Every structure is written in C-alpha cells, then in structure tokens.
Amino acid sequence: MSQADLSIHGQVSRTGATEIMTAPTFSVPAKKMAMWLFIIADTATFAGCLVAYGFIRNATPDWPRPFHSITNVAIMTFILLTSSLTMLIGIRSAEKEDKAGAFRWMMITAVLGILFAVLHIREWLGMIGDGATLFHNPWGTPLFSSAFFSITGLHLLHVTGGVIALIAVAIRYQGGRYGADDIEVTGLYWHFVDLVWMFVVPLIYLMNLSH
Amino acid sequence: MAVAETHNTGGIGKDVAIYVLLLILAGIQFIIAYQDITASQMFVRMLSVAIIEAGLALLFFMHLSKNRGLMWFVVIFTVAVLLGMQYGWTDSFRLLDGVRWSH
C-alpha cells in the first residue's frame, strides 16, 4: 500500500507501526452498533417469551380473562410513550450541547420510568392479593400467571435497568465524563423498552380483558 | 469526546407528531379490545397496529430512517429470527384439536 493510500485508510500508531483503519459498520459508531446488536438479541428474547405465551394460550381452551379495567394499563402506556418523547428532547438538547437541558430531560424520563414501575408493582400486588402467583392462578390454568408474571417481570426488569442507566449516564454526562453519543445510545435502549411494551399490552393485557 | 450524530431533520415538531400518532394507535388498540370479535380477529388487528407502532418508533424515534444500511441489517436479522420462532404453531393447534388426519 502506498503512502498516499495510507493517508486515506491508515494512521501511524504511537509505536510507529501503521494500522489500517476500517470505516465503522454502516457508518455507525461502535457504541451505537453494540446497542443495536443488543436490541436485536433482546428482541429475540422477548419474542421467544411472547411466542411461548401465544403457544400455550392457543393450546389452552379455557384461558382466563381476568382483567376488568384498562385504566391502569392505559396510564402506564401513556407514561411510557411520554417518556420516549422526553428522552428524544434530552437527546436533542445534548446534540445542541445544552448540558442542563439534556440532564433535566433525562431525569424527567427517569422519573416517568419510576412512575411506570410503581404502577406496575401496584398492579402486581393487587393480583398477588387476589391469589395469583407464579405457580398458582385463581382464575383457572396456572399457565396464565406464569406467563403474565414472567413477561411483565422481564419488561419491568428492563425498565428498572433503564432507569438506573438513565440516572447514571445523566450524572456522568453532567460531570463531563460522558458525551452526547452516550445519551443517544441510552435513548436507543429506552425506546426499545417502549417498543416492547407496544406488543406486551395487546397480547398480555387487552387480549385477556373480560367483557 | 465523541459527538452524537445529529438528527435535526424535522426537529421537535416531528417528534411530537410521531408521539401523538403513537398515542392514537395505542388508543385504537384499546378500542379493538372492546370490539365484539373473535380472539383470532382481535389478535390480527392488535398485532397489525402494534407492528405499525413499532415501525414508527424504529424509523423516527430510533432514527433508523436515516441509515438505510443499518435499517435493513436490523430488519432482516430480526424478521429472520421472528419467522424462525413460528415453527411451533402446528404443535400448539395439535394440542388443542388433536391430529386432524388421525380422525
């Protein structure tokens, strides 16, 4: 390779050796690409759970429909969708190098995530109070409770992890240790959590609504 | 320190419009839940709306519309995995109805 080629494709390292630099995959920075790969893998995890749920629901003739009200899940959906918007505003603020704005909007997103988790846990406690556990279901087949607590629990775990990540990244961003790209990567994860909820709501809640 | 890719096209107005659209679509799912239709019809309608919602979130909230290469990478891999998971449905129906050709 000529010196002219190296000036385009390579650089000289600290040790003096020439390293060939390749363009990032799909022109996406490594951190962002890693998050996309995680999202693809996590999509498979959630899809596996939802397909397994669909399998047992389809194969069980007397599947219970225990939900009487959509109020709680509607509020939870509204909160999670709104948190995606506040996350976007945070990302845009970070792109404009508005540190205070980005920090504020990320914290608002985290608070909305906490609110979602609190409502979710309150709903869980209500169901546990009715006698539903991972292995027991007062309305019929125990498979319902197993599927419900497993899938919503997995999602709640993601929300909890997301809230911790949001707070940690926001604090480090304000302290100057993280950049706007880190906020964008965290935002990708948060939108994914929101995206999964769009499938959990109809399949787990709305399909099991008693009429 | 690395700087994030900018996504200024459309601005916050576009984000709010997508957010409102997602709220409307979520509302439609709740309306479908109260329709007097069979479970399979309800499943198809709700899943269709959920796929539209997911598409909007992927394209505009997660900015996949800005990078065609990444978009196809994500879509092809994800759809391939999702399709691969569908092999068990025949078994699910067999559990419910028995093996039809044995009757």
Looking at the whole model, is its pTM more than 0.95? no
Contact flag A88-B15 (C-beta cutoff 8 Å) = yes
Q: Is the pLDDT of residue B92 over 90?
A: no
* Least confidently predicted of A37-46, A186-195, B20-29, B73-82: B73-82
Predicted confidence (pLDDT) at residue A7 exceeds the cutoff of 50: no
Q: Does A131 touch chain B (CB under 8 A)?
A: no
Six-digit token string for B48: 């269709």
Q: What average pLDDT score do residues A160-172 get? A: 97
- Of A104-108, B3-7, B30-34, the least confident: B3-7
In this structure, are residues B100 and A67 in contact, taking their beta carbons and an 8 Å threshold? Answer: no
Is the pLDDT at A100 greater than 90, yes or no? yes
Give the whole-angstrom CA distance, residue A48 versus residue A180. Answer: 33
Over range A148-157, report the average pLDDT: 96
pLDDT tens digits for A35-62?
Answer: 999 999 999 999 999 999 998 888 888 8
Mean pLDDT of chain B: 85
Could you give the C-alpha distances from A60 to A55, A105, B61, in angstroms and in order? 9, 45, 37
The pLDDT tens digits of the residues spanning B22-71 come to 999 999 999 999 999 998 899 999 999 999 999 999 999 999 988 899 99
Confidence (pLDDT) at B10: 61
Q: What is the DSSP letter of A67?
A: B
Q: Is the pLDDT of residue A11 over 70?
A: no
Within 8 A of B2 by CB-CB distance, chain A residues are 29, 31, 179-181
Q: Mean pLDDT across the stretch A181-190? A: 96
Contact A81 B22 (CB under 8 A): yes
**Inter-chain touch B86–A26, beta carbons under 8 Å:** no
Q: Do B33 and A202 touch (CB under 8 A)?
A: yes
pLDDT band at A19 (very low <50, low <70, confident <90, very high): low
* Packing angle, helices A71-95 and B11-33, rounded to 10: 170
Report DSSP letters for A115-139, one per residue: HHHHHHHHHHHHHHHTT--SS--TT
Q: Is the pLDDT of residue A160 over 80?
A: yes
Using the Cβ of A22 and the Cβ atoms of chain B, whether some distance falls under 8 Å is answered with: no
In this prediction, residue A14 carries a pLDDT of 52
Chain A stretch 132-171, residues whose beta carbon is closer than 8 A to a beta carbon of chain B: none
Chain A residues in contact with B87 by the CB 8 A cut-off are: none
- How would you class B83 by CB atoms within 10 Å of its CB: exposed for 0-12, middle for 13-18, buried for 19 or more? exposed
- Distance, CA of A159 to CA of A79 (rounded, Å): 12
